[in-house]
Structure 1
Amino acid sequence: MAVRYFISLPDPAKARGSDSALSFSAHGAEGFAEQLQDALRTPTLFERWRGQQADPDEVDPALGATDPGASVTGQQDDLHVDLVVSTSLPSEILKQRLRWLAGSGWQLRDVR
């Protein structure tokens, strides 16, 4: 069953992870939504992160879970970006991907 997460990027210019190889590169609501959706649907972001680890083979493969049906929409609202995420992935996986992409530059507003 999919859960809807309402996420805010209060300052989109600062919604960047500490590693530019994993971080958002988007500048608009649609771009942020597309990049997060890709991070949830495909293993690409996880595989980049995994490849950076000292022993990639020791990384728990469950951390690379994907949801091919995940969807993310984005909307610019004044100076911040609102994202609505619908996914069946566990919340910890979603939070992990958001930390890689946005660092601490995101806020969870609601869950339904």
Structure 2
Amino acid sequence: MDDIIGFAVVLIIISGLVYALLNQIKYSKASESIVGSPLFRKQLKRKNKVMTVSLFGVLLFYTLNIVSGLNIVSNLTFLNNFTSLGAFVSLIIFLYTKFAMTPKQVDRSLYN
């Protein structure tokens, strides 16, 4: 019974990450036509690319960690440390990008 609950929780987490990734891709495409200075759009585009790639990395490494933890193939156990470190680093990059990389809106009246 505990295994079924564990698999259900893992499936919920993976489906939540897939949903977040799809929303991030949709937001990245929608933000390309945002109004603002060229510098603001360039910074926002860079932020969205980094967030999308790092969220994909979290999903990929988390899924690989679960697969390597199932011990389907016995010689994949060395991947547990690598995949958990990859998921952690990708998550840290995603959080840093989300909260610290804020594009600055430039006041165009200063240049006229």
- TM above 0.5, one fold? no
Structure 1 or 2: larger helix share? 2
**TM superposition score normalised by structure 1:** 0.30
Q: Which of structures 1 and 2 has the bigger CA Rg?
A: 2
Structure 1 or 2: larger strand share? 1
